[in-house]
Amino acid sequence: MSSRRAGVFAVLLATLLASAPRVEADVVERVVAVVNDRAIFLSEVRRRALPFLERLLEIPSETKRSEARATLYRQIVDQLIDEELIRQAAAKMEIRVSNADVERAVQNVMQQNQLSPEEFWAAVAEQGYTEAQYRQNLRDQLLHLKVMNQRVRSRVNITERDVRREYENRARKANRALRFRASHVFFPLPPGAGILEVAEVRERATEVRARLESEADFFRAAREIGGGELGWLSQGDLPGELEQALLALSPGEISAPVRGAAGYHIFFLHERERGSAAVPPFDAVKDEIYRVMLDEAMERQEKLFLAELRREADIRNLLEDAESGLASSR
């Protein structure tokens, strides 16, 4: 696949990653969960699991392979329950996604990747998806965003005082910490990403990292996929797992993929030093600080909102009753 076509799937909101290609139509329609009055079927669990089953065969131990398979099925059912809860919440709130909304999103992805309609749909087909599947998954993602913006965004209130407090905290750390000049290749996760989306993005980041043997390779990937120069960062600017990845590098080295709140990063360390850092004026960075604080607060509130939906719903997880059917899909 060309790099432009491959780039489609880093910007698709990872919508396709939530579903696998179509499976045969003779799947037994067993119920694996009921959310209020809506059933979730075994066929959908099989469809979601399909891309991952071959990878499980790489696990040498049958016991560990069975445990991994059972974990995968449980995670898929949990994700499907959350998706159904969001759909039901959207219906109560009279939130809808129109065909025009979906078409605008499709056109935006095409423009971002500089692909003609023919090139775009060919890239989708190469991944084993139909146009209808792609549009439906994009519709589901847009519905998720609308629900979260209406129900979750109203719970988040970040004031300028909060932003200034965070700015002052960063400034104190910058004056006594290591400083890094780094770049990254970035693989975004879609809002509300489930286990399958995360696994697909992680796999793509791992595949790209395996091809990076030099600084030139790294910056070529950053141009094609997304990312680039991060400039100077002070110790404490990044979340712990990202900072640890940089601390482990020597100048000129490339990190393994590391997950952050918004996606996976591959870092390249240009240089680092210890000492007092020049702190930019508050007005120059307040918008960036606000965006980071907003993203973190939204993620926390989204988890709380989903927990509330689960508490209020009548959920019956029947996965164990359907295990014989799942076993037949192995």
CA angle 55, 60, 66 (to 5 degrees): 70
Q: CA 200 to CA 202: how far, in whole Å?
A: 5
Burial (0-12, 13-18, 19+ Cβ within 10 Å), 205: buried
What is the rounded radius of gyration, in angstroms, for the C-alpha atoms of the chain? 22
Give kind and range of the element (H or E) at residue 104. helix 99-112
Tokens of 251: 């100048």
CA-nearest of 290, 296, 15, 324 to 165 is: 290
Number of residues written out for the chain: 330
Tokens of 224: 């094609």
Token pair 């959908």 is at which residue? 44
Q: Specify the pLDDT at position 16.
A: 38
Contacts of 145 (CB under 8 A, 6+ apart): 191
Q: In a structure prediction context, what are the per-residue pLDDT tens digits for the chain, which is 330 residues long?
A: 444 444 443 344 344 334 444 444 444 578 999 999 999 998 888 888 877 777 777 777 888 888 888 888 899 999 999 999 999 999 999 999 999 999 999 999 888 888 899 998 988 888 667 888 889 888 988 999 999 989 888 889 999 999 999 998 888 776 666 778 999 999 998 876 777 788 889 999 999 999 998 889 999 999 989 898 998 887 778 888 898 898 889 899 999 999 988 899 999 999 988 766 567 889 999 999 999 999 899 989 999 999 999 999 999 998 876 555 555 445
Residue ranges, comma separated, of all CATH 3.10.50.40 domains in the chain are 176-274
Residue ranges, comma separated, of all CATH 1.10.4030.10 domains in the chain are 3-153+311-327
Count how many Cα atoms sit within 13 Å of the Cα of residue 313 in the half-sphere of its side chain: 24
CATH topology of domain 176-274: Chitinase A; domain 3 (3.10.50)
Q: CA 252 to CA 236: how far, in whole Å?
A: 21
Q: Specify the pLDDT at position 208.
A: 93
Token pair 């699991």 is at which residue? 49
CA angle 47, 307, 20 (to 5 degrees): 10
Q: What phi, psi does 278 have (nearest 5°)?
A: -70, 120
Query: Please, what CATH class does the domain formed by 3-153+311-327 belong to?
Result: mainly alpha
Report residue 132 CA to chain centroid gap: 22
Instruction: Indicate the residue type of 249.
Output: L
Q: CA 134 to CA 239: how far, in whole Å?
A: 33
pTM score, two decimals? Answer: 0.57
Give kind and range of the element (H or E) at residue 224. helix 215-225
CA-nearest of 247, 128, 258 to 205 is: 258
With DSSP H G I counted as helix, E B as strand and the rest as coil, what are the percentages for the chain, rounded to 5?
A: 60, 15, 25
Q: Are 192 and 148 in contact (CB under 8 A)?
A: yes
Q: Are 205 and 257 in contact (CB under 8 A)?
A: yes
